[in-house]
Amino acid sequence: MRRILFTSVTAAVILILASLANIGGCKAGSSCDLNFIEVFVNGSSPDTQDSEWECENGGVLVFTIAFFTDGTGFRSDAGDFTWEQTDCHTVDFETISLESGSFVNIQGNVATTGSTTLGNLSMEQQSDDFGDIQVACTYKQF
């Protein structure tokens, strides 16, 4: 009886660990080194926005964008949108006018020293509505 209980507890622990490994938009069975919501957001909601990203392509400003932990955001060329991290380095978005797309191959970091926060974000936009474009974004603190 004791061996059956031990085996059941072991199986439960393995299931819990597998579930936790899936947090942050990673597919089952893969590990993820990026939790977008912990690194790249600009406040908990539009009311608490403290920063934004200025995104360029070839040195030309394409758009500014802000992501909020409540799953919403604002983009200068598209207005309000909702977003979700759907894979380790992928965020899907949809505007209120039902335009949609994905940001893939997301890379970057944000670091705070004293009261100064610096950050960079690179991603490839894939969208039938907005086109496919690679952008490099700079963190702008308000």
CA–CA distance from 99 to each of 36, 37, 47, 64, 84 (Å)? 21, 22, 24, 17, 15
Cα(124)–Cα(83) distance, integer angstroms: 15
Residue 30: its pLDDT value, please? 58
CA dihedral (15, 34, 142, 120) in degrees, to 10, reads 180
122 and 64 in contact (C-beta within 8 Å)? Answer: no
Domain chopping of the chain, boundaries: 33-141
Of the candidates 68, 66, 67, 44, the residue with the CA atom closest to the CA atom of residue 54: 66
CATH 2.40.128 fits 33-141, yes or no: yes
Give DSSP secondary structure letters for 87-100. Answer: ETTEEEEEETTS-E
Amino acid 14: pLDDT: 35
Q: pLDDT per residue over 107-129, tens digit each?
A: 999 999 998 999 999 999 999 99
Q: What is the pTM of this model?
A: 0.77
- Residue 11 CA to residue 4 CA, distance in Å, equals 11
Q: Which residue has the higher pLDDT, 89 or 5?
A: 89
The confidence band for 42, taking pLDDT boundaries of 50, 70 and 90, is very high
Please answer whether residues 56 and 63 qualify as being in contact, where contact means their C-beta atoms are separated by less than 8 angstroms. Answer: no
Question: Could you report the per-residue pLDDT of 93-108, keeping only the tens digit for each?
Answer: 999 999 999 999 999 9
Query: Which position has the higher pLDDT, 24 or 75?
Result: 75
| pLDDT tier for residue 31 given thresholds of 50, 70 and 90 | confident
Q: Which pLDDT value is given to residue 26?
A: 53
